[in-house]
């Protein structure tokens, strides 16, 4: 089931991101943090039959989840993850900021991996 493949990849990428930031590679940690969120959003979308093949589609999935759950932290944490994605290209964030970003990524993954959201 693709949903579980995406979900498992999300948690694996988060683990890798934490390792990368501990090793001082904030750029790679940032991209893996974003990747973790993208994979979990794809898992949720897949479980619901929603499109998830573009960056824009991922934002639409998040919009739908916020509307459905009335949980604005989903949106806020997604924006943090998107800023990590930008950091991969710009490399502007200091290590403490990347660490805080990854903490919010972990919170978002937990919210999205809940049975009432992910559906598995």
Residue 89: pLDDT band by 50, 70, 90 thresholds? Answer: very high
Tell me how many domains the chain contains. Answer: 1
Looking at residue 117, its pLDDT comes to 86
Cα–Cα distance for residue pair 67/21, rounded to 1 Å: 33
Q: Domain range for residue 64?
A: 2-118
Tens digits of residue pLDDT in 91-116: 999 999 999 999 999 999 999 999 88
Tens digits of residue pLDDT in 3-17: 999 999 999 999 999
The domain that holds 44 is classified in CATH as 1.20.120.330
Global confidence as pTM: 0.95
């Amino acid at each position: 089931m693709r949903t579980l493949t995406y979900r498992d990849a999300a948690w694996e990428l988060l683990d890798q991101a934490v390792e990368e930031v501990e090793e001082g590679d904030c750029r790679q940690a940032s991209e893996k943090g974003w990747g973790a969120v993208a994979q979990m959003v794809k898992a949720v979308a897949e479980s619901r039959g929603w499109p998830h093949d573009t960056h824009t589609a991922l934002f639409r999935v998040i919009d739908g989840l916020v509307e459905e759950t009335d949980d604005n932290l989903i949106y806020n944490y997604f924006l943090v993850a998107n800023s990590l994605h930008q950091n991969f290209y710009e490399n502007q964030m200091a290590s403490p900021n990347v660490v805080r970003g990854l903490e919010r990524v972990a919170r978002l993954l937990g919210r999205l991996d809940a049975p009432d959201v992910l559906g598995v």
